[in-house]
Chain A
Amino acid sequence: MRIFFATDVHGSEVCWRKFLNAAKFHKADVLIMGGDMTGKAMVPIVAIDGGWEVTLQEQRTTLSTEDEVREIEKRISDRGYYPIRLDRDEIEAWSADPSLVDARFKTEMLGAVERWMALADERLAGSGIRCVVSPANDDMFEIDPIIERASIVELGEANTIELDGFTLVSTGWANPTPWNTYRELPEPELRERIDGLVASVPDPHRAIFNFHAPPYGSNLDNAPKLDADMHYVSGGQALIPVGSKAVRESILAYGPALSLHGHIHEGKGAVTIGSTLAVNPGSSYEDGVLQAAIVDLDAKKGTVKRYLLING
């Protein structure tokens, strides 16, 4: 069985489309998305006299035709941002009332996930390819039911999914971050959550962990150190481990065949922890590059046969 695992696409349309095509391209049987699907930013395209104005990456552009607007919307979406058309009055209202921003964010995120699920159903129907999507700490809870409603895509979070003799166990909950995101738990509670999930796995050695947070101190969790004001320390050169101790301990305790992680975009790598291959393909979603792990599993032996980290 070949698994194609990607994570942290953060709203990038092009990355999601590549993800859906990846199974055919790399002859994978199962697609797994490790979470953090939703974007982090909205880019307003502001109506002005005779056209529109947009500032993308500090570059202000004036647009005069609908085709130009659509082209820039695609660029924005491919980077993982949500393009939104507004007029100046709305911009001023948003600046004065953050709840309007929050509401629009919610609309955009949920709308995008709806679209993505529909696209997945359309592209994967009849292919025999399975697709598991598990939201993670940056994804609001409202996206879970949307994924659950999809016909082809299976919801990973808190479910155990049988995959050719292996059991996929997923959680997008992570140890606390400085950003206080949707799905964070203190380490002891995270461990309890993992233990609860693994309890339903018939053979933990034949488990595939799909835990968004990487194991602590594994090199898959090296992120730039931040100071109290959320500025990088040492120009971003000082990397520190920020992964989860609960995840590490559970890998060592249960010894699954494979452990899939994301969360730390800079933490691309593959390491062996105990008898488990742990991978974090990293993420370069803003570049439109889909970083992923291709893992071949031996159903008879219950082991990993081979793996490859790719930039697709």
Chain B
Amino acid sequence: MASETSAAPSLFLRNATGLVKGWSGFDAFGYSFMSVNLVTLGMFYSLAVFAYVPTASPVLSIVLAAIAVTFLAIAYSGLIAAMPRAGGDYIWQSRVLDGIPGILTGAVVGGVASFLVANAVGTGEPLNYALGVVGIVVGGLIGRLNGGIGFILAATGWWFILAMWAPIYGAILKLEFFQPIAALLKSPDGVSFFGSDNGTLVVSIITIALTSLLVALGMAGYARIQRWCLWAGLIGFAIMVVLMAISSQADFKVAFDRASENLFGVAGAYDKTIADAAANDAFTGSLDPLAMGDDLGATVSATLAMIPFMLFWILYPNWGSTLYGEVRGSGDFRKVLRGMLGGIWVTAVLAIVFVLLAANTFGWLFFNATNVNFINWFYGYTTTDPTVPVWSYPPLLASYLVDNSIFQIGMIVLFGAWFLGWSGTLFLSSTRMIFAAAFDRILPEHAAQVSERRAVPIMALLYIMIPAIVVSVLYSYSADFRALTLDATLVIAVTFLGSSVAATILPWYKPQIFDNSPVAHLKLVISGSGLIISVILAWVIYLWLSDPLYGIGVGNTNSIIFLGVVYGAAAVVYVAARLIRRSQGIDLDAIHAEIPAE
């Protein structure tokens, strides 16, 4: 038997429900592009923290992160093609990570979590290991149950941790919209309010209300908004690029000093920011975007250390990982993959353009100084106020180049499209996970109910809104909690790691599924990509948990306890559901038990 890829499928179709002509690859790209959001995630965090690894190569770190995530895109495209309507990490992991893989995955997650929590709360060395063993056993037992580890990894990544993303989105909205607008309107009270803990909470609540409203609107309505936002955001970005390209660093320095004095009463703000960062934030500069330093080995090593920061932004090209429809071929795999790769690489190229322009126009020293100067204060690493009271949001900086407040406000509003076009997916993702858990009887039936008139998933929204509000309060009033921002990415990375492992073993462990799929001929490509991204994610998770650079690992008791609560809560929910359902005569093992055909 010999196989090759055919240019034209030989298939006769009849007229039947569900057969469609296809879908636009551009739509897939747009969804991925907005998920790997250059402005709301990239500029807000990943592209603002180069100063924390000053010897890393900025451009190389972007490229390496994009290469790493490319393997994620291949693995996920394979899962989507092999199990299309299953539609997501929960089902993929539940179907694939059973038996020995489920036990092993559960044991690793349980063991690591238990050991780290025991270590963080200071139980002492023998007990640490004993609790780690208990975690291995409990995790292994949960992993042995059909769907157990799938629920824990998916519920933490697609539900629980999204509660933490709500105030992070709130912080983004505050720093990228409300504070700049207040500043440009010359409202010191507004700047002060939005800079306060109360302001953070208010914007978080606004964010929660907005994202809930977008869920209520439904994806069909939101998709239209997203499309407009994509174009509006790109127009804004193009204006920023042009402004930065045609302006010199001297022009910018004059513009920044003028705006800072005019808006905040800070004279000589450009030089003062650099001096303050050096004095208060231990700022020593950062390698130029294209430079590789004198010691190539050290630069590469430092650049690798930047990847865990980069993933905060570029890890999510697969956010809309569902494919509908039938009678599909591997052409859809390619289309899904192209959409994700477009999202990754177009964004990566734009990020590089932005970084180069920032170095050219803002000045690389200033750009990194102003970021570290604000970030250290915002996350509570220092108590010294930043030189200017609002974050140097790049579109705001670029807008200063035109000395016109209407134009400046227009730029901020236009860039708001990057937020509006992306934020609706936050609760949409979690409500889908909640529905799936309710259909699998892990959550009560009411979790999947929709309202009579507009089919709004009110209870599912409450399941995410209530924890989101609680976490928003913590985030708003505790800088220590704000410093756990990278935990929000870590938990999602663990979920993605579960699916990456599933993609790695799927062709070999569940050949009846994979060999019957349109990507059966891509066994090595998908499994190999799954393996590579599994190793990368495991390594990044190890760095997050072990290296004090990231601030969320073993040196941060709050972070470890927070992670322990997240995973512990998922395990408790699952075990409780099993016990309750058993008392009701419902066997949850039956959900994934394969019925023999013969």
Contact = CB atoms under 8 A, between A and B. Distances in A.
A288 B513 contact: yes
A270 B439 contact: yes
A232 B521 CA distance: 26
Contacts of B326: 10, 40, 265, 286
Contact of B449 (A21, A225, A265, A272): A272
A55 B11 contact: yes
Contact of A231 (B14, B23, B220): B23
A283 B323 CA distance: 14
B584 A306 contact: yes
Contacts of A41: 11-14, 327
A218 B450 contact: yes
Nearest to A22: B595
Contacts of B12: 41-44, 94, 101, 104-105
Interface in B321-346: 322-331, 339
B123 to A, nearest CB: 40
Interface in A136-192: 137-138, 177, 179-181
Given A181-B17, A239-B220, A271-B448, A266 B591 contact: no
Interface stretch (A56-64, A125-133, A197-205, A253-261): A56-64
B24 interface: yes
Contacts of A225: 220
Contacts of A26: 590, 595
Interface string B69-94: 00000000000001111110001000
B516 A288 contact: yes
B3 A36 contact: no
Interface stretch (B27-35, B305-313, B402-410, B477-485): B27-35
Interface in B443-480: 445, 448-450, 452, 454-455, 457
A48 interface: no
Nearest to B428: A237
A181 B595 contact: no
Contacts of B186: none
Given A60-B6, A238-B220, A311 B591 contact: yes
Most buried by B among A101, A223, A265: A265
Contacts, number: 249
A287 B513 contact: yes
B213 interface: no
A236 B16 contact: no
Given A36-B17, A102-B14, A269-B439, A62 B1 contact: yes
B594 interface: yes
Nearest to B425: A237
Contact of A235 (B10, B339, B595): B339
A46 B8 CA distance: 14
B520 interface: yes
B23 to A, nearest CB: 4
A247 interface: no
B29 to A, nearest CB: 8
Contact of B520 (A59, A101, A284, A288): A59
A234 B595 CA distance: 36
A263 B325 contact: no
Contacts of B597: 14, 17-18, 21
A36 B14 CA distance: 13
Interface in B209-262: 218-220, 222-223, 226-227
A40 B10 contact: no
Contact of B21 (A36, A104, A231, A239): A231
Most buried by A among B5, B219, B331, B596: B219
Given A238-B220, A270-B439, A232 B329 contact: no
A182 to B, nearest CB: 9
A246 interface: no
Nearest to B14: A105
A299 interface: no
B434 to A, nearest CB: 12
A68 B518 CA distance: 19
B591 A310 contact: yes
A311 B16 contact: no
Most buried by B among A229, A263, A271, A283: A271
Given A269-B435, A284-B85, A288-B516, A308 B455 contact: no
Contact of A42 (B11, B323, B454): B11
A287 B83 CA distance: 7
Contacts of A214: none
B27 A308 contact: no
Contacts of B14: 40-41, 101-102, 105
B18 A310 contact: no
Nearest to A292: B595
Contact of B86 (A104, A219, A230, A284): A284
A111 interface: no
A301 B522 CA distance: 54
B31 A57 contact: no
18 contacts: A40-B16, A44-B10, A55-B11, A60-B4, A60-B5, A61-B2, A138-B16, A177-B17, A231-B23, A232-B24, A240-B218, A263-B17, A270-B439, A271-B450, A287-B513, A288-B512, A311-B591, A312-B595
Interface of B: 1-6, 8-24, 27-28, 30-31, 82-87, 91, 95, 218-220, 222-223, 226-227, 320, 322-331, 339, 435, 439-441, 445, 448-450, 452, 454-455, 457, 512-513, 515-518, 520-521, 584-588, 590-598
